[in-house]
């Protein structure tokens, strides 16, 4: 059954004339005329600081709603959902990886990964056969995080390890969309490359659509598509 406002399309992400400006501001911080991502596509979004990267993330994640235009994720027009429903949509369909400090210091590694199931019955159902904990441990292992780290407090992990745990949390339960906000900026070149390799491998294994935001143009070559955020038009 199609969700409310669904259209016949394969697009996982479709942005149509999206504009966003903060109340009281004269200019749009986000102005995207058209953007469509099919399932499994990887998009690199480049933008300097202040170019509206965070705002774009908040729009895609359904925290903010656009001042004008339409954002459709998996055929659903986010504007037709209430704020609570958008939060639920994010819990069920979107994984997020931040620049750093992704993990809650008072939870173990595995608990941090399974945290995203706390708010999503859909994810819990998806893992009903294997069990949430086992799925988390499998995912951590495939991200090269050994068992002895699974019960460790997260502040014992290196930054690179923490970022991989964050990827495991974002991917557990099979969300269709993964949003990564500068996930490599705290890593050195070696770690960054290894991280990206693992990220791509897991994303491809799940057939997930990836939106990767960074200020670093060097990374763009690894993605099928890239766009540039120009930021405020001043």
Under the rule (CB under 8 A), what is the footprint of other proteins? 54, 57-58, 61, 63-64, 83-84, 87-88, 90-92, 96, 98-107, 111, 114-116, 118-120, 169, 181
CA 45, chain centre distance (Å): 12
Cβ proximity to other proteins: between 63 and 193 the closer is 63
Cβ proximity to other proteins: between 83 and 205 the closer is 83
Using CA atoms, how far residue 17 sits from 77, 130, 185, in Å, is: 13, 42, 30
Cβ proximity to other proteins: between 32 and 171 the closer is 171
Structure tokens at 182: 């500068």
**Nearest distance from C-beta of residue 217 to other proteins, angstroms:** 23
How far apart are alpha carbons 100 and 72 in whole angstroms? Answer: 28
How far apart are alpha carbons 180 and 107 in whole angstroms? Answer: 22
Cβ proximity to other proteins: between 15 and 94 the closer is 94
Cβ proximity to other proteins: between 33 and 50 the closer is 50
For 159, the 3-state DSSP assignment is helix
**Nearest distance from C-beta of residue 56 to other proteins, angstroms:** 11
**Nearest distance from C-beta of residue 104 to other proteins, angstroms:** 6
Inter-residue contact 80 to 108 (CB < 8 Å): no
Residue identified by tokens 């149509």 is: 16
**Nearest distance from C-beta of residue 8 to other proteins, angstroms:** 28
Inter-residue contact 204 to 198 (CB < 8 Å): no
Strand partners, 14: 36, 72
């Amino acid at each position: 059954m199609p969700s409310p406002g669904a259209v016949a399309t394969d697009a996982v992400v479709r942005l149509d004339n999206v504009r966003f400006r903060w109340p009281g501001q004269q200019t749009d911080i986000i102005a995207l005329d058209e953007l469509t991502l099919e399932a499994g596509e990887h998009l690199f979004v480049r933008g300097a600081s202040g170019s509206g990267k965070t705002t774009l993330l908040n729009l895609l994640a359904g925290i903010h709603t656009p001042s004008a235009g339409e954002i459709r994720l998996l055929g659903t027009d986010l504007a037709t959902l209430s704020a609570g429903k958008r939060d639920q949509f994010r819990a069920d369909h979107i994984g997020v990886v931040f620049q750093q400090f992704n993990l809650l210091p008072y939870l173990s590694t595995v608990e941090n990964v399974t945290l995203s199931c706390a708010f999503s019955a859909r994810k819990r159902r998806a893992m009903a056969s294997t069990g949430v904990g086992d799925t988390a441990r499998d995912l951590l292992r495939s991200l090269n995080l050994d068992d002895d780290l699974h019960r460790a407090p997260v502040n014992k992990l290196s930054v690179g390890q923490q970022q991989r745990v964050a990827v495991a949390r974002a991917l557990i339960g099979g969300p269709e969309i993964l949003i990564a906000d500068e996930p490599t900026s705290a890593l050195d070149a070696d770690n960054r490359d290894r991280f990206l390799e693992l990220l791509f491998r897991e994303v491809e294994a799940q057939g997930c659509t990836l939106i990767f935001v960074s200020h670093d143009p060097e990374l763009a070559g690894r993605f099928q598509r890239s766009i540039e955020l120009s930021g405020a038009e001043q």
